[in-house]
Amino acid sequence: MTDARPLGDDEAAFIAAARSNDAAPFTLITERYRRELQVHCYRMLANYEDAQDLTQETFLRAWHKRESFKGHAALRTWLYRIATNACLDFLDKRDDRTPAPAELPGAGSEVLYLQPYPDRMLPEDPQESVVARETIELAFIVAVQHLPPRQRAVFVLRDVLGWPASEAANALELTVPSVTSALQRARVTMRTRLPDHRLDWRSPARHELSDDERGVVKSYMEAHERNDLDGLTALLRDDLRFVMLPEAGTLTVTAKDAVDGWVTGGLFQRGYDDWRCVATTVNRMPAAALYRRTPGDPEHRLFTIAALHIVDGRIAELTGFDARDKPWLGLPVTL
């Protein structure tokens, strides 16, 4: 990421494009970094639409600053620096995008702006350090949001991307000791919020879903389509963590209480209980897209997407997202 080396092809081509003021080759060169930069912005912001906007802002800033690039660092490194600071500028203006620290009054675990990340938009040939499964799963993304913005940036640059302290300090205009201190504090928070997860985020990680996960998703969808409440209950752990976004509230409930809540909430109300489901993945997690047909409508329409964290054959966490009016999910609107 930050290695000093002779001028590479991308760096030389970028400098040539900058000198010629020709936007076409500039776009061609930088576009190949779009997907990984968007993942980076998503880790900082936890919102897919914001990540899209900030990636575009990164390219605009890069164009305006093109003459300052001399090739002393890799082009990728330079673009990541711009993207990180663009995200920090965004967060400085949006107090609602950083949850209150746990020790402050009114603090909560909800990240109401959280959106799922469609796997089809991940880099096609991901490096482990860029999109390891553990660094894109929802629990990780939510935990990162509870870091103050600059701690968040330090943590992502250092522990996810593997930048040395000096390079992270240079990118963020901080001292190396301040970067080291921020990283130590960030790791404490991450350990608290992810007690069962490792902190070496650059280690090789599994990308494919397991047969166990695929089987649970299939059973979940079949139970939903049959309105099989007992079947749904059997798939859920009794310490299920459930959240439906963008509504507030993360609940830890028993399996029976969860299903009872879905019933009273109208998911299985007569006339509104005609469901069809499609298996998908978001954030490298198993998920089910739920389509509902309402009275008088000949088609099933995309309603919600349920991202599932599966442990030992049962659903330990279920995060539901309103999937309507989100074409970037890449799902058909109707069935």
Which residue is listed with tokens 């675990």? 109
pLDDT surpassing 90 at residue 79 = yes
Q: Cis link prior to 105 (omega < 30° from 0)?
A: no
Give the β-pairing of 236-245 and 250-253.
antiparallel
**Model confidence band, residue 72 (pLDDT cutoffs 50, 70, 90):** confident
Tokens of 11: 């760096």
Average of pLDDT values for 235-253? 85
pLDDT surpassing 50 at residue 105 = no
Mean pLDDT over the full length of the chain: 88
pLDDT surpassing 50 at residue 129 = no
Query: Which pLDDT score, from 0 to 100, does residue 318 have?
Result: 94
Average of pLDDT values for 176-183? 97
Q: Which of 1-15, 89-103, 147-161 has the highest mean pLDDT?
A: 147-161
**Model confidence band, residue 205 (pLDDT cutoffs 50, 70, 90):** low
Distance between CA atoms of residues 292 and 300, nearest Å: 5
DSSP line for 1-66: -----S--HHHHHHHHHHHHT-HHHHHHHHHTTHHHHHHHHHHHHS-HHHHHHHHHHHHHHHHHTG
> What is the fold, at CATH topology level, of the domain defined by 9-193?
Rna Polymerase Sigma Factor; Chain: A (1.10.1740)
| Segment holding 215, helix H or strand E | helix 211-226
Give the β-pairing of 274-282 and 285-293.
antiparallel
Query: Which pLDDT score, from 0 to 100, does residue 112 have?
Result: 87
Burial class (CB in 10 A: 0-12, 13-18, 19+), 84: buried
Query: Which pLDDT score, from 0 to 100, does residue 22 have?
Result: 84
Query: Which pLDDT score, from 0 to 100, does residue 312 have?
Result: 93
pTM for the full predicted model: 0.90
**Model confidence band, residue 130 (pLDDT cutoffs 50, 70, 90):** low
- In this structure, of 6-15, 140-149, 196-205, 237-246, the range with the lowest mean pLDDT score is 196-205
**Model confidence band, residue 106 (pLDDT cutoffs 50, 70, 90):** very low
User: How many residues does this entry show for the chain?
Assistant: 335
pLDDT surpassing 60 at residue 154 = yes
Query: Which pLDDT score, from 0 to 100, does residue 42 have?
Result: 97
Query: What φ, ψ does residue 64 adopt, rounded to 5°?
Result: -70, -30
Distance between CA atoms of residues 114 and 251, nearest Å: 16
Q: Do the domains at 9-193 and 211-329 have one common CATH topology? A: no
> What is the fold, at CATH topology level, of the domain defined by 211-329?
Nuclear Transport Factor 2; Chain: A, (3.10.450)
| Segment holding 81, helix H or strand E | helix 75-93
- Quickly count: other Cβ atoms within 10 Å of residue 81's Cβ: 21
- Domain extents for the chain? 9-193, 211-329
pLDDT surpassing 80 at residue 91 = yes
Query: Which pLDDT score, from 0 to 100, does residue 302 have?
Result: 97
Distance between CA atoms of residues 120 and 98, nearest Å: 27
Distance between CA atoms of residues 182 and 143, nearest Å: 16
Average of pLDDT values for 17-22? 86
Q: Which of 14-28, 92-106, 110-124, 299-313 has the highest mean pLDDT?
A: 299-313
Conformational region of residue 175, where left means phi above 0, alpha means psi within -120 to 50, and beta covers everything else: beta
Of the candidates 162, 156, 165, 141, the one whose C-alpha atom is nearest the C-alpha of residue 187 is 156
Average of pLDDT values for 296-306? 95
Query: What φ, ψ does residue 38 adopt, rounded to 5°?
Result: -65, -40
Asked if 12 and 6 count as a contact pair (C-beta separation under 8 A), the reply is: no
CA atoms within 13 A on the CB side of 128: 7
